[in-house]
Amino acid sequence: MSCSSVGESRVSEDLLQVACLNKRFGALRASKDITFSVRQGEIHALIGPNGAGKTTLINQLSGELVPDSGTILFDNRDITRLSEHRRARLGLARSFQISSIFDRLTVQQNLALAIQAHQGHSFRFWARADRDPQLAGPTHAALQEIGLEARAGELALSLSHGEKRQLEVGMALAGRPKLLLLDEPMAGMGPGGTAQLSELTRSLKGTLSILLVEHDMDVIFALADRITVLIYGEVIATGTPSEIRANPDVQRAYLGGGE
Partner 1 sequence: MLPYPNRTRSFLLSGLLLLLLLPPVSSFFGDAYLVSMFSRLLIYALAAASLDLIIGYGGMVSLGHAAFFGIGAYVVGILAWHSYASVPLLTWPLTLEGSESVLIVFPAAVLVSALFAAIIGFFSLRTRGMHFIMITLAFAQMLFFFFVSLEGYGGEDGLSLYARNQLSGVDLGDDTQFYYFCLGFLLLFLYLSQRLVNSRFGQVIQGIRENERRMLALGFPTFRYKLACFVIAGAGAGLAGALIANQSEYVSPGLMHWTRSGEILVMVLLGGLGTLFGPVLGAVVLLLMEEILASFTQYPMVLMGPFLILVVLFARGGLYELLIGRRKPGE
Q: Per rule CB under 8 A, is residue 133 in the interface with partner 1?
A: no
| Contact window for partner 1 (CB under 8 A) among 15-23, 34-42, 127-135, 208-216 | 127-135
The Cα–Cα gap between 170 and 150 comes to 15
| Contact window for partner 1 (CB under 8 A) among 100-108, 186-194, 206-214, 227-235 | 100-108
Q: Per rule CB under 8 A, is residue 75 in the interface with partner 1?
A: no
Least separation, in Å, of the C-beta of 150 and partner 1? 12
- Among positions 16, 19, 72, 88, the unique one binding partner 1 when judged by CB under 8 A: 88
Q: Residues in contact with partner 1, total (CB under 8 A)?
A: 43
**Is residue 205 within 8 Å of residue 41, measured between CB atoms?**
yes
Paired strand residues for 237: 229
The Cα–Cα gap between 213 and 45 comes to 6
**Is residue 166 within 8 Å of residue 196, measured between CB atoms?**
yes
Least separation, in Å, of the C-beta of 81 and partner 1? 16
Q: Per rule CB under 8 A, is residue 154 in the interface with partner 1?
A: yes
Q: Distance of CA 154 to CAs 75, 100, 106, 107, 148, Å?
A: 38, 16, 5, 6, 10
Q: Per rule CB under 8 A, is residue 93 in the interface with partner 1?
A: yes
Q: Per rule CB under 8 A, is residue 202 in the interface with partner 1?
A: no
Which SS3 state, helix, strand or coil, does residue 247 take?
Answer: coil
Q: What's the chain's length in residues?
A: 259
In the complex with partner 1, which residue's Cβ is closer, 38 or 93? 93
